[in-house]
């Protein structure tokens, strides 16, 4: 596997009353280009903190992150984040929300609009360009969030529980849609989720974190077919993986 993303010995603590709360304890990971890596773990195990460090929104206490060999020291256009909350600007319509995210890219008006319309089409929102966020369902709002990330054309998409705010049926539909989009665009994805099935369905590998402080307990390759639909959840291999990950999450080390 090529060293597209390298995460080396990341430690992170936060102030807590008169002491410090250790959140990450020596996290080391490698991600290949075009790979989807899903991280699962209990609440408070540092999954989102690690994602924010990779995004350049937080700095580790010790350790380093590099993308394509270049150290990550802050945010950059080669990384785009999809948050759990939609984060749309309520006074802008779908089209303008996505265009707004392209402002730092230094594109011409035509280039920005071409990228925006392409991203809107990829997430199935053609025809909704002029809709305001309040006129959209939760699932559609999250599609806008994904389109906004795609329009930047990042090398790495960072997804923090992207479907946690939608119902189960919508969640599974959007999982299928996201899988299709990342395969079509060859975008690498680092995904944080509490949903074991989501991790297996979307991931090429699943990383299991211990409870706080977060450590890597196990890296599990997912050997299911690359193109997956809902029926893959009925396979014995899928069910065995789900049970194995569940059992690992219940263990202490």
Cα pseudo-dihedral 111, 84, 38, 212, rounded to 10: 140
Q: Please report where in the chains the tokens 């977060």 appear, as a residue.
A: 214
User: 224: buried, middle or exposed (CB in 10 Å: 19+, 13-18, 0-12)?
Assistant: middle
- List pLDDT tens digits, range 122-173: 888 999 999 999 999 888 898 898 888 888 889 999 999 888 877 788 888 8
Please, which residues bridge with residue 62 across strands?
11
The reported pLDDT for the residue numbered 191 is 95
Q: Six-digit token pair at 141? A: 């709002």
The reported pLDDT for the residue numbered 164 is 80
- List pLDDT tens digits, range 45-56: 889 999 999 999
111, part of any domain: no
57, part of any domain: yes
194, part of any domain: yes
**In this structure, what CATH number is given to the domain that contains residue 213?**
3.40.50.300
What gap in Å lies between CA 181 and CA 36, rounded to an integer?
12
The reported pLDDT for the residue numbered 189 is 94
The reported pLDDT for the residue numbered 1 is 54
Query: What domain range includes position 219?
Result: 1-78+188-253
The reported pLDDT for the residue numbered 70 is 94
- For 107-112, the CB contacts below 8 A with 24+ separation are none
- List pLDDT tens digits, range 206-247: 999 998 889 999 999 999 988 888 899 999 999 999 999 999
Instruction: Give, to the nearest 10 degrees, the angle between helix 94-101 and helix 138-151.
Output: 30
Which of 18 and 44 is assigned the larger pLDDT?
44
What gap in Å lies between CA 189 and CA 187, rounded to an integer?
6
The reported pLDDT for the residue numbered 252 is 63
pLDDT of 118 over the 80 cut: yes
164, part of any domain: no
What is the domain count for the chain?
1
The reported pLDDT for the residue numbered 19 is 80
The DSSP bridge pattern shows strands 205-209 and 36-40 to be: parallel
pLDDT of 25 over the 90 cut: yes
195, part of any domain: yes
- List pLDDT tens digits, range 86-112: 678 899 999 999 998 787 777 888 888
Mean pLDDT computed over every residue of the chain: 89
pLDDT of 253 over the 70 cut: no
- List pLDDT tens digits, range 59-76: 999 999 999 999 999 998
What gap in Å lies between CA 102 and CA 9, rounded to an integer?
33
91, part of any domain: no
Instruction: Answer for the pair 215, 63: CB distance below 8 angstroms, yes or no.
Output: no
Mean predicted confidence (pLDDT) in 13-20 = 81
Residues near 183 by Cβ (< 8 Å), separated by ≥ 6? 226, 227
147, part of any domain: no
The reported pLDDT for the residue numbered 168 is 82
Task: Tell me the Ramachandran region of residue 19: left when phi exceeds 0, alpha when psi lies from -120 to 50, beta otherwise.
Answer: beta
What gap in Å lies between CA 89 and CA 99, rounded to an integer?
11
pTM summary value:
0.89
61, part of any domain: yes
Instruction: Answer for the pair 24, 11: CB distance below 8 angstroms, yes or no.
Output: yes
User: 231: buried, middle or exposed (CB in 10 Å: 19+, 13-18, 0-12)?
Assistant: exposed
């Amino acid at each position: 596997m090529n060293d597209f993303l390298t995460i080396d010995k990341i430690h992170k603590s936060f102030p807590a009353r008169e002491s410090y709360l250790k959140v990450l304890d020596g996290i080391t990971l490698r991600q290949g280009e075009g790979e989807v890596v899903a991280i699962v773990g209990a609440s408070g195990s540092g999954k989102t903190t690690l994602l924010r460090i990779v995004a350049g929104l937080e700095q580790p206490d010790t350790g380093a992150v590099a993308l394509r060999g270049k150290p990550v020291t802050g945010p950059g256009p080669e990384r785009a984040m999809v948050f759990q909350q939609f984060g749309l600007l309520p006074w802008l319509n779908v089209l303008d929300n996505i265009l707004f995210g392209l402002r730092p890219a230094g594109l011409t008006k035509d280039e920005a609009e071409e990228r925006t319309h392409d991203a809107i089409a990829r997430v199935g929102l053609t025809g909704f360009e002029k809709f305001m966020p309040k006129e959209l369902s939760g699932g559609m709002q999250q599609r806008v969030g994904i389109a906004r990330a795609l329009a930047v054309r990042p090398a790495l998409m960072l997804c923090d529980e992207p479907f946690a705010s939608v119902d189960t049926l919508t969640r599974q539909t959007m999982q299928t849609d996201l899988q299709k989009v990342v395969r079509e665009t060859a975008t690498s994805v680092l995904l944080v989720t509490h949903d074991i099935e989501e991790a297996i369905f979307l991931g090429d590998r699943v990383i299991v974190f211990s409870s706080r402080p977060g450590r890597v307990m196990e890296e599990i390759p997912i050997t299911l077919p690359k193109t997956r639909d809902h029926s893959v959840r009925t396979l014995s291999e899928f069910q065995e993986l789900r049970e194995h990950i569940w059992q690992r999450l219940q263990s202490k080390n």
